[in-house]
Structure 1
Amino acid sequence: MQNDSGILVVNWQLEKGGCEVIFEEIARVLNAKLLGFDEALNALGVQMERRYYRYAILDRCLIFRDFIKQYEKLYDPKLIITNDDCSAFFSELRTPYIVVLQNPYAHLKNLPEFTTLYKYEFVDVYTLLQKLACWNAKMVLPCSKFMQEYGEKFLSLRNMTLLEPGVDMKLFRPMDKDYLREKYGIPEEYEKVGLWVGSFHPISGYHFVPKFVHKYKDIYWILVFKHSIEGKVRAKNVRILTCVKHEKMPEIYNLADFLLNLSFVESFGIKLVEAMACNVPVLTRKVGFLLEYPAEKGAMIISENDLDAIDRFYERKDEFESRKAVEKRFNIERFRRSWKNLIKKIF
């Protein structure tokens, strides 16, 4: 369990894509120990029968704290790098910690789709935990300008250091679509392929996806979910993929003509950069890094009810140069250098 760097990287889940990929890369670059919630839970010998009730996050934060207290006795780490909602009670630890700010919980109050499922106090609790985590941290690193403004407005934070994620441009690259479509068995009668990546969470805007699928029956739709789903798909032009390993995602992106993203909020939008790195244009709401970064050659801004957007996309499909829009600013090498330089300054 010990590591050479003396750094512990803490996040809820491992190997799930999205923000999990960011923490895995941080651990890899810094030669750090990567800790997920299940490992902490099992090490303490604790059973949580209700892991997902409304305020389970309080128990989960306490379990992380209790495990790391034991870890400190054994290994005496020099630094902890953690997600912003894992570390609400880390002020009780001896080890200084850095928070990566990437969960815009306070914005959820503005989403009617979300508040029909959860009451406002749920959001308030999560935001309060973020404040506790960030106010006691050695440093707070927002993952985008959007999250930096979020920290200032909702968490009363100042003196944050912006550190944007990066994508491995060697892994996420353009590939032969014809070869991949044959490999994955895309029916030959479909010349057009659309892709959506997300979950059933209301923030993802999934409930608008069936409208697009229903209208564009000439498009073969690939829907990728982070979690497992049981049952068969009734529509013949839809395929569902679940729990796809991150290293396989470049092939999945390259199957498609475009990535459809209907998320109401993105702290950064790593999947948008991954798709664009594969030279796959993105049809998306204006979220995440796109709020302040011009990427007209890589993305087409739409709304969740703009059902004609796909027709407009195919009219100008050849105009997009998606990879060029992101390959310099969001390259993984830049991300790695930033983290190495940051750790040198701290130590």
Structure 2
Amino acid sequence: MNDTVRWGILGTGRIARDFANGLRDTPCAVLAAVASRSQDGADAFGEEFGIPLRLPSYEALAACADVDLVYIATPHSLHAENALAMLAGGKGVLCEKPFALNRAQAERVVASARARKLFLMEAMWSRFMPGLLEARRIVASGELGTVSQAHADFGFAAAYDPEARLFNPRLGGGALLDVGIYPLSLAAFLLGPVAAVQAQSEIGPTGVDLQTVFTLRHADGALSTGACSLKARTPGLMTLSGERGRLRLDAPFHRPPTLTLTDADGNPRTLDTPYLGNGYVHEAIEAQRCWLAGEIESPLMPHAQTLALMGVLDEIRRQVGVHYPGD
């Protein structure tokens, strides 16, 4: 049985480069094609990574017979449109987070994948990291007791440019969709579905959020808080607390190199949680596993949870007053 998977990358920005580097360390992965909006862009990226097929349009990648899975690395505002095009071309899709701009867009993409029986997954790479899987195991084991609180933050200081991706509403800018999705998604991964949310934001001159803080109530009653910022360099930690102890996902918590487990007496213990390559390897391995098995979704990032979290993001934006074209 041939277990080689042929990848195409849609887009040639920083995140596309990170994923391409990750594929270099991914068993059975072949980076077969890259598509850009220009031939020059595709050629430059293809030369850098030794990619044989260098396509001058996104449509060309959808029609390419030499690609199995496509990684979508375009701006947020194009994710749904690009995913629909790749699915229509018979490709499996790994779509960078945020999966879409809103739940309505996400529902159309999921419906298309299900109708075509094609693999589709949100590229929330952190869920596949050894550190996150070990944290989930520890929480489920009861070693901490019942985990009733969690806190996480993700913030950095970005140079302000109203036309840049991070600040442009036409491109789905703002702290929430870019980095706030990490504390949200990983809190749901570790503590279960979100039942309610309350949020506050600082809105910038272009109408997107520069900073957002939100509180989640999970379905089993646990509470978690998440903070994200384009203005502040935050610690980048996540802490989960129960009556028997606490667990810290050490910085950066979305790809933790270590976990710190502290018992009820205050005694800390460090657990090493190394990952392969630059970390993107783990989500690529899972996508390939699903594709080769004929599965259309992953149990670690299922469609239903992607849709539920897109709904939470919609509600946070409603509360704080952030709107995008197409909402």
Of structures 1 and 2, the one with the larger relative CO (CA 8 A, separation 6+) is 2
Structure having the larger proportion of residues in helix: 1
User: Structure 1 or 2: larger strand share?
Assistant: 2
TM over 0.5: no
